[in-house]
Each structure stands twice: as structure tokens, then as C-alpha cells.
Structure 1
């Protein structure tokens, strides 16, 4: 199994909803600390989000290739906002100059109002259709083909890359609507799901397997792991105390208008209610009260979190894309608590090799933080 961390390119905080006291402003120095620490702790890659609310993923990660050696960057981007030929050229350049450290997270876009900010006025089903056409061209170009293609949304003539990457970047793709499945099966290497209870994840994976039996799977979760379960659950209480009813009401009103089926499934786990947030053993839906997208967290002792990871892995999850608040500190708690436990059980190895003790990480205690 592989683990990825998350780069908070809109700034970081000790709370789900950032407060003036808890905000850690975005700097390339701070992102570099997270990236270097994730690399040394044993994470294979780091996801960088996309949207109007955060910094550009391509530019941010390109800067971080210079301060890391092995870490891959899972760059989220939206088809249709740039041409497929330019996207393939960017991917090829990134892949060559980084030493094959690019992964592509294709985000079709679930919210029409946000898409319109970028000049995209297609409806949701049309966006999925366009994504399929876009990836047909991108994949062909990255494989060295000359592409002439005319679809309903994408049209290129004799497009080609002057230089193709030695290794084609893997394509990660998520989507819970009926339109998403065929696109994933035709073009994706890894299908992504948000952190639902295991039974629901199993149903989704079974659906995708009917379309592509050899698909790899990834899951996107937050994590709150501590030496004891009591400490971990106490942290959920602290996070909730800093969330006001007005915060929940405002966010849930916005998410109720979402076109995303995956977002609707996240909302159904908690219904906007602070009670009943433990939706499965060690799976807490409190993050989704005030955050769109991935809304659940694995919560517990290091051993309990390792148990849940193995449970998802038994369903067929190959890759875990994790995050926590604040992202630097929580990466250490997971990397120094859960990963050694999984290694002790013989189900995980440090990607740099670990025939002996785990490679040393930057010391956590007393480490100065770039602000």
C-alpha cells in the first residue's frame, strides 16, 4: 500500500475553520517543510488541490521539486480550462524535469458556479463527456502519438509533443455519478473515492470493477491519530468546540446546492447534525460539517488507525491520500505512529527501503515552523 499526504496551498490552521489565532499563512518555506517531512517519513506523494480558493497546483508543486528528492506530486487540474495539447506538454515537461515525479489528479468539476468563474459554462454531464475526450487526446500525446481528434467538445489537428516523457504520469480520477464510471474505466489508472464507511466503499469499488476489473483504487481521508484513543477523540472535541452553529449552517446551506453526487454522499453521513458523527468504527464525519470535499477522518490510537487502514486495504484500496490539521504536525503523528505499526505488521515498507530501522526524519519536538 502507498500513502500520500496533502499540501495546504491556501494556508494551514490548527482548526477545521481557520481562526485569526490559528492561521498559518502560506509560504513556499512552509510547504517545503511539509513536503520534505512527508518524503522522509515515508509518504510516496503529496496531493495539491485545485480551485479558485487555493494557489495554482502546477506552479506550487514545480517549486517544491527543488527541495525534495523522491516525493511525487499529485497535481489536481480541471480538463477544459486549458487545451489538452498544452496540458500534455506541461505534464511532459514536469515529468522529465522532476525525474518522473508527476501524478495527475483529474477533477471534472462538480459545481457549475465555480466552473463559470473560469469561463466554463457546460453542465455536469457535458463536463464528464468533455473530460473523456480531453483524456483521449492527453493520453495519446503522452504515449507519443500524433493526435487528430474531433469530438463534441475537443478538436485538435495533428497535435504532437516534441518530447514525450519516459514514464507516462499515472492518472487519478474520482466521481460518484453514473457519468463518471465510464470515463474512469476508459482513462484512469487509479479511481479515487472519499472516505465513506467500508460497506459503502466496497459497493463503489464493485461498481468500478464491473467497468474495469484491473483498476487500482485510492481513498481520500483526514486523520487524527494519537498515542491513545482518548487523546485522539479529545482532539475531535477541541475541533468541534471551535466550530460555531453559524459556521455549520452556512457551509451546509452551500453544500446542499452542490451538484456533486460524492458531496451529497458526504453530507448524508452526518446530515448537518453534530450528534452521530461516528459513522463507522474510528470514522468521524465532523470535518464535513464545515468543509466541502473529503469530510471524514480516521480517529484513534495508532494501532486502531492501522486496523482501519488494513480494513480498507482488504477491500482493494491500494493508495491512501491523507491530511490533518495542521498538516505538518499531523504528518509526523501518522508517520511516526501509524506507519511503523503497519511496518511491524509486515504490510508496509518505507519507499526508500527499510531493511533496518526506519530512515530518520526531521525531529518533530521543538522544530521551528516557518510562518
Structure 2
């Protein structure tokens, strides 16, 4: 019987304990960087002016505070020029996690871009595999249904992995027919082994199967621990069926204050400053979206905007209300420093060894979290 082998070696500072065991080492913690930044950037009034200098300041701050990098999400700016600009202004400690949709550009070209990035910036690139939604991908001329997106993704990233490992090969599959792939940049040698790491989150059966077979770090959104445990147990079982183990990462928003009451007051303020237009835009057309992760998240609030934020607290300190007004991951941990740390440790006990955290504004909250939460997790700058 083949014993499971890890997709990648654990990064420095990450937990290496068995899944479900309390962590004895500090987790890896990344921050979040997008150009729409401010106290409540989903509203024009809550958005601050952001330019290259500001984004580089934010990346430098994230690096100095002890985070190992940042997720650069698909937002106003394309992640490649943004990632290159931030990598050029930081050291090798700052590792950009670039969100990339498979299929929008040829896998051979993406691999060349990745190897170029790693050669220029010291082997820091990581891919966040984003499968998107059927409707969003139509804007780019990619017409694939839910399950077909994952079939495309599996083939696409298997090619990219081989190319970023330095292979030259022919490939004939359902979506791609390649001859001498990698030959034109065979002298552009890989920096990372065995390949540029893949991080990915997907909650549907096809998504979990794709993750189990191909990715290195499985990402998930915040949910009550008993629900998350069920999903992670299933993910691990599917990975084991492929002779693999995966690292587990969790994407969370934090609203941490000195006291619990202050934290929930801050969440109440976010509800109050959000316009009816934003609520309608975010909720009106998305209840039937085909992403299973979004559906799991939507069920936690049902599209209902509460009078007080805490009305949606179905598990201590977990608030799904961020998804009422912003796209993507919408669960926040709301509470005092001690409560937030307790929730994060609870997730660590489920085997989570990596956190991607955020708070608004990104710059100020990066400091707050680094000065309060990170030391309690064993991370110091």
C-alpha cells in the first residue's frame, strides 16, 4: 500500500502535527492585499485613494509585521503586475499568493510567467487556484459549466505543475493538445521544488476531488468547527485515496477589539454604513449561484440583513455577515483578542496550519492583528 506523501514540505513556522491534534508550533499566517482598500471599501465613501506607493507600503508593512506573504485576489488590478510590483519592493520573506483562473491563458504561457517570476524574485510565487463562477468566466469567453470547470482545472494545473518543475513533454487531453511544451524556455530553470505550489479552495465534490489529486494546500472559508471538520475529514480521505496528504488553510476576516462589545459594535457599524444598493447588488442575483462554497456561506444568513450583527452569530464569535456586502469569503471572527485567539486555536485543532487573514482597513488592521493576535499564536516580528 502506498503511503501518503505531502504535496509540499511544510513552510517554516507552520504546524506539523497530525490532523485533529493541538498544534505545538506557530501557524503560517498571510495577510490580504487588494487595491480597493479602506474602512468599508465596498462603498465609495469608505474607500481611500490607493496608488502603487500605498500598495508597496502595505506589502512592506505586512512583511515587517511577521506575516509570510499576502493573498493578491482577483480585484480591480490584475495580479501579475501587482504581484511583480510588490515582490520588487519586498524581500524573499514576502511570498505573493496570486489568484489565477485556469483556462484564461494557455498553461504553457502561465508556466513561463511563473518561472520568470520565480527566477527574478527568488522563488516566492504561490498560486491560488480560483475556479470562479460560470457567469463570471463568460466575460473572458470561457464557457464551461460547474463540473466542467473542475475538469478543465485538473488538466490545466497538471500541465502547469509539470512545466514549472522543468519538464518538456507532449500532452493530448480533453482541453489541451501540446507539442514540446516547455521547450522554448527549457533554460529557465525551476527555483521551487517540486513545482510552484498550488493553493485551492473548493467545496463541491468535483472541487474536492481536484484538490485531492493536484493541489498542495487546501483552502476553505470559515464555518462552525463541526461543519468544517466534516468537510476536512472528507478532503483528507479523498487525498489519501490518491496517496497524498494536504496542508489545510483557512481564509478569515477578523474584527478584533479590546472587548467583545467593542468588536460587535464595529460589526454593527459595517451594517449601518452599507447602502441598500450594495445589499441588493451583493444578494439579489447570487442566491442561485453555482459555487457550493458560496451556497454553504449563504445558508448561514439566508440573505437576511439583520438589525444587529450578532443576530447572525450561530457559533461563538463567528459572523457570516461580511458576505452580505462583499464578494468572496464572508465569515469574520468577531471578539476580544482572547476570543479571537481561542477560535483560531480551535481551527488549529482541526489541522489548520495556515491562515489568510484580513481586516478593514488593511493597513491599520494588519498592525492591530500583529500586535494582539499573532504573538498569542507564537508569531513575533
TM over 0.5: yes
- Structure 1 runs of 4+ aligned residues shifted over 6 Å read none
Find the aligned partners of 2:116 and 2:151 in 1 and give their Cα distance. 27
1:152 corresponds to which residue?
A: 174
**Alpha-carbon distance, 1:42 to partner:** 0.9
1:242 corresponds to which residue?
A: 273
Q: Does 1:18 align with 2:43?
A: yes
2:119 corresponds to which residue?
A: 96
| Alignment deviations for residues 53-80 of structure 1 (CA, whole Å, 9 cap, x no partner) | 5210011010011221121000001111
Find the aligned partners of 2:115 and 2:283 in 1 and give their Cα distance. 40
For the Cα contact (< 8 Å) 1:4–1:44, is it kept in 2?
A: yes
**Alpha-carbon distance, 1:246 to partner:** 4.6
Q: Does 1:173 align with 2:173?
A: no
Find the aligned partners of 2:283 and 2:368 in 1 and give their Cα distance. 30
Find the aligned partners of 2:76 and 2:148 in 1 and give their Cα distance. 25
1:28 corresponds to which residue?
A: 52
Instruction: Find the residue that maps to 1:12 and give its secondary structure.
Output: coil
For the Cα contact (< 8 Å) 1:217–1:319, is it kept in 2?
A: yes
Find the aligned partners of 1:79 and 1:201 in 2 and give their Cα distance. 26
| Alignment deviations for residues 304-355 of structure 1 (CA, whole Å, 9 cap, x no partner) | 1111110001001111011111111111110111011222xxxxx34xxxxx
Find the aligned partners of 1:246 and 1:159 in 2 and give their Cα distance. 48
Unaligned runs of 5+ in 2: 1-26
Q: Does 1:41 align with 2:65?
A: yes
Q: How many residues are matched?
A: 341
Query: How does 1:324-343 map onto structure 2 within 5 Å?
Result: 324-343=359-378
- Gap change, CA 1:247 and 1:166, over 3 Å in 2: closer
**Alpha-carbon distance, 1:274 to partner:** 3.1
Find the aligned partners of 2:169 and 2:201 in 1 and give their Cα distance. 26
**Alpha-carbon distance, 1:101 to partner:** 1.1
1:3 corresponds to which residue?
A: 29
**Alpha-carbon distance, 1:27 to partner:** 0.9
Query: How does 1:281-296 map onto structure 2 within 5 Å?
Result: 281-296=316-331
For the Cα contact (< 8 Å) 1:263–1:292, is it kept in 2?
A: no
For the Cα contact (< 8 Å) 2:63–2:94, is it kept in 1?
A: yes
The counterpart of 1:197, out of the listed 224, 237, 241, is 224
Query: How does 1:326-365 map onto structure 2 within 5 Å?
Result: 326-343=361-378, 349-350=379-380, 359=381
The counterpart of 2:143, out of the listed 121, 126, 130, is 121
Find the aligned partners of 1:312 and 1:178 in 2 and give their Cα distance. 22
Find the aligned partners of 2:138 and 2:44 in 1 and give their Cα distance. 29
Find the aligned partners of 2:267 and 2:294 in 1 and give their Cα distance. 21
Find the aligned partners of 2:68 and 2:285 in 1 and give their Cα distance. 34
For the Cα contact (< 8 Å) 2:43–2:275, is it kept in 1?
A: no
Q: Does 1:134 align with 2:156?
A: yes
Instruction: Find the residue that maps to 1:145 and give its secondary structure.
Output: coil
Query: With structure 2 as the length reference, what TM-score do the two structures score?
Result: 0.86
Find the aligned partners of 2:126 and 2:330 in 1 and give their Cα distance. 23
2:165 corresponds to which residue?
A: 143
**Alpha-carbon distance, 1:257 to partner:** 3.0
| Alignment deviations for residues 286-312 of structure 1 (CA, whole Å, 9 cap, x no partner) | 111112210110111111111111000
Query: With structure 1 as the length reference, what TM-score do the two structures score?
Result: 0.89
Find the aligned partners of 2:141 and 2:332 in 1 and give their Cα distance. 34
For the Cα contact (< 8 Å) 2:41–2:47, is it kept in 1?
A: no
Unaligned runs of 5+ in 1: 344-348, 351-358, 360-371
Find the aligned partners of 1:144 and 1:16 in 2 and give their Cα distance. 41
